[in-house]
Structures are given as C-alpha cells and as structure tokens.
Amino acid sequence: MKQKRSAATLVLEALALILFLAYLIPFALILVNSSKDAFAVTANPMALPKDPGLIFKNMVSIWTNNNIAYPSSFLSSIIITVLSVVVLNLLCSQAAWVLVRTKTKFSQLVFLMFVGAMVIPFQIIMFPLLSWFREVTAITGIGLLRTRFGMIFAYLGFGLSLTVFMFHGFIKAIPYELEEAATIDGNGKFGVFYRIVFPLLSPIHATVIVLNGMWIWNDYLLPLLVLGKGNRVQTIPLAVANFAGAYVKQWDLMLTAIVMAIIPIIVLFLAAQRYIIKGIVAGSIK
C-alpha cells in the first residue's frame, strides 16, 4: 500500500515538474533569442546563443533607440502608475470611510452607483471619453489628452469603483467605538480618520496597491486612446506596440524590448511576492 502511494506521488512529482518547465519555456525562449543578432534569431530560434553577452549590447541599442524611447517611456510608466495608485488609495479610502459612517439614503445611493458601474465595459465609454476630454480641454484649458495628468485622472475614474468597494468592505468591519473614543479624546473628523482609521487600513491598502498597480502598469488600451500613438508621452506597453509596428520582423530587438519590459515586473514581484499573491486572491474573492 505504502509502495503504491509513493509511486503515484513520484508520477505526480514528475508531471508537475514537466508542466512547470513547459510553462516557463516561452520566457526561456525570449531570453535566449534576445542574446542573438537578427540573423541568428531567424536562422534558428531553438539554438543556444553563441555569445550570451550580446543581450547587453541589444539592451543598449533598445535603451538608446529613439523609436521606442525606452528611458522616457519607463519614466512615464512609473510616474503614471505610482501617482494613480497613490491618488486612488488616498481619495478612495477617504470616500469609502464617509460613505460607511454616514448612514443616509444619499450615501447608499452613491455607493450603489459606484458598484453598479463595474459592469460597464470600457468599450462603451472609450470613444465618447475622448471627445468629452477634448471638449473639456477646449473649455477649461486643462490638458487631459496626451498628458500624464489626463491619464492619472482617467485611472482615478476607472479604478474608483473597485477601490471604494474594497475599502468600504474593510471599513465596515472596524468597530465604531474606536472612532467614538478618539472623538472623545478631542480629535476632529480629520484626526479620527488620519490618526485612527487610516493606519488600520494597511492590509487593504496593500491589496489595492497590488491590484491597481498591476492593472495600470500593464494597461494598453486606455493609454493608447488617451496618450495616442507616437506621442511624446508613452507608457511601456504603448512603446513596445509602437516598436512592433515599426520593426515588424526585427525579432532580436523586439524580444530584447520585451525582456526589458518584463524585468521590472519580475523584480518587483520577487521582492513583494507575498503581498502580491495575497492581494490578488483577496481582490478576486471580494
């Protein structure tokens, strides 16, 4: 009996290992092929590179290529992602708190509208959003299209439903007595929120940062519409897509660009793996 079980375990172990390797082969392939020159990539993508150091040369040529503008795209991606995430966390936790603690018909209605809006697909909003942003810019002079500010504002709009919803659920579980005690101690409303409630929210802040951060960093369609192709301000997915359009079959450089787009995410993931997996599971179950 024992013998049989360990044999089955062994088979499962081997199966898992094969699956695991098969799962990661695509990454190995692009890594191998971004260490080759254009000819070697097309000649035989399966061969190992003759000079693995070539990847650094390819990376330098991506870094300095004006078409992909990697340094400035990278910077824009970071600025847009970080600021959007910060704004979403600050504003949505505040809003969720007053919505939970103010028990009126109005606050219920607002919350229901936020949640209900989650079913609206992006496709129905995207074209009118562009003409509406153009109009707003024409009237107010505030640049919403082709600017980082417009991107961040749009991400606040598209991200707030889920973010408010998640903070709302978490805040509901915080005992109100805590806030009453803080009020008696002489705290105003701002004090109660920033001294008492805000620090208690850190687990949900972490979850929300992970969910929104990954979404915004990888997003392609919204930047494509708001920033536009070939704009001075580009995010990394946009830059890679642009580059793919311009250098259709130059796979050596294309794959290097892909590797360079992936590296920051993998590094961040390995650094904060625990939070990321927890955050993602928590986000899906909500």
Q: Which is nearer to other proteins, 19 or 246 (CB)?
A: 19
Give min distance, CB of 44 to other proteins, in A. 6
Q: Which is nearer to other proteins, 156 or 200 (CB)?
A: 156
Give min distance, CB of 175 to other proteins, in A. 19
Give min distance, CB of 171 to other proteins, in A. 12
Task: Please write down the long-range contacts of 268-273, taking CB distance under 8 Å and 24 or more positions apart.
Answer: 272/210
Rounded CA separation 48/29 (Å): 9
Give min distance, CB of 278 to other proteins, in A. 9
Q: Which is nearer to other proteins, 133 or 233 (CB)?
A: 133
Give min distance, CB of 96 to other proteins, in A. 9
Q: Which residue has the tokens 């960093």?
A: 217
Cα 45 vs. chain centroid, distance in angstroms? 31
- Given a contact cutoff of 8 angstroms between Cβ atoms, the answer to whether 158 and 222 are in contact is yes
Q: Which is nearer to other proteins, 233 or 254 (CB)?
A: 254
Q: Which is nearer to other proteins, 3 or 123 (CB)?
A: 123
Identify the DSSP state of 150.
H
DSSP one-letter string for 20-69: HHHHHHHHHHHHHHTTS-HHHHHH-TTSPPS-TTHHHHHHHHHHT-TTTT
Rounded CA separation 239/79 (Å): 15
Q: Which is nearer to other proteins, 63 or 264 (CB)?
A: 264
Q: Is 7 exposed, middle or buried (0-12, 13-18, 19+ CB in 10 A)?
A: exposed
Q: At what angle do helices 148-172 and 70-101 cross, to 10 degrees?
A: 40
Give min distance, CB of 160 to other proteins, in A. 5
